């Protein structure tokens, strides 16, 4: 089985496990946590009386983020752990911000489409920031590295273009 296929399988397994945990009590635990923590934060920021939509299914957006960070090849352990910690705080702040966009009253309360899309996209944007040193290597012409530690990367010569090959005499 190829390494790429194993990474995809690992990502699927991680996200299935985290989604199952979310549905089996994680959502309620996170909701209780938000109900306790969000109001003082809103008050501190001047959003007195802001409603906390503590049990939104949309908060599950941490699942793909964790899965992507865990399966991204070549990240140092320090970058992976620090990225997870900072990324989860950023996603939590995104959940707090998402609550502030709620419109309507009573049963007609809902989230506008743009903040919802931003919330859905946020885990992937945060992952791009965490994995940037490795992702840049996958780009055409990106630096090639023989080391797995991003701090010890060696930049290789870019591959020759067709014009360079046609004008360079072969030895």
Q: With beta carbons less than 8 A apart as the criterion, state whether 90 and 31 touch.
A: no
Using the predicted structure, report yes or no on whether residue 44 has a pLDDT greater than 80: yes
Report the pLDDT value the prediction gives residue 92, as an integer from 0 to 100.
Answer: 94
CA distance 135 to 170: 34
Q: How far apart are CA 106 and CA 128, in angstroms?
A: 38
Helix, strand, coil percent content, the chain, rounded in steps of 5: 70, 0, 30
Task: State pLDDT tens for residues 75-117.
Answer: 999 999 999 999 999 999 999 998 888 777 777 777 888 888 8
For residue 51, pLDDT beyond 80: no
Q: In the prediction, which pLDDT does 126 show?
A: 96
pLDDT in tens, 21-41: 999 999 999 999 998 999 999
124 compared with 168, residue with greater pLDDT: 124
For the chain, give the mean pLDDT. 82
Please say whether the dihedral angle defined by the alpha carbons of residues 81, 86, 91 and 93, taken in this order, is positive or negative: positive
Is residue 164 over pLDDT 60? no
If you average pLDDT over each of 47-51, 60-64, 87-91, 118-122, which comes out highest? 87-91
Report the percentage of the chain scoring pLDDT > 70: 80
Where in the chain are the domains?
A: 3-167
pLDDT at residue 134 in the model? 87
Task: Assess whether pLDDT exceeds 90 at residue 122.
Answer: yes
* pLDDT of 138 above 80: no
Neighbours of 137 (CB within 10 A): 15
Angstrom distance (rounded) from CA 67 to CA 71 = 6
Instruction: Say what the pTM is.
Output: 0.75
- C-alpha span between 116 and 99 (Å, rounded): 10
- The pLDDT assigned to 161 comes to 53
pLDDT for 145 equals 46
């Amino acid at each position: 089985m190829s390494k790429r296929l194993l990474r995809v399988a690992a990502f699927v397994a991680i996200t299935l496990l985290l989604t199952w945990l979310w549905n089996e009590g994680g959502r309620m635990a996170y909701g209780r946590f938000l109900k306790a923590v969000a109001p003082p934060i809103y008050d501190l920021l001047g959003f007195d009386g802001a409603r906390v939509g503590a049990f939104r299914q949309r908060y599950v957006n941490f699942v793909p983020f964790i899965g992507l960070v865990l399966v991204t090849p070549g990240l140092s352990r320090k970058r992976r752990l620090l990225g997870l910690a900072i990324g989860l705080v950023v996603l939590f702040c995104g959940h707090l911000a998402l609550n502030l966009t709620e419109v309507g009253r009573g049963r007609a309360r809902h989230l506008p489409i743009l903040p919802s899309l931003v919330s859905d996209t946020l885990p992937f944007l945060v992952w791009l920031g965490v994995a940037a040193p490795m992702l840049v290597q996958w780009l055409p012409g990106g630096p090639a590295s023989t080391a797995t530690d991003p701090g010890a990367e060696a930049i290789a010569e870019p591959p020759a273009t067709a014009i360079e090959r046609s004008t360079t005499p072969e030895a």
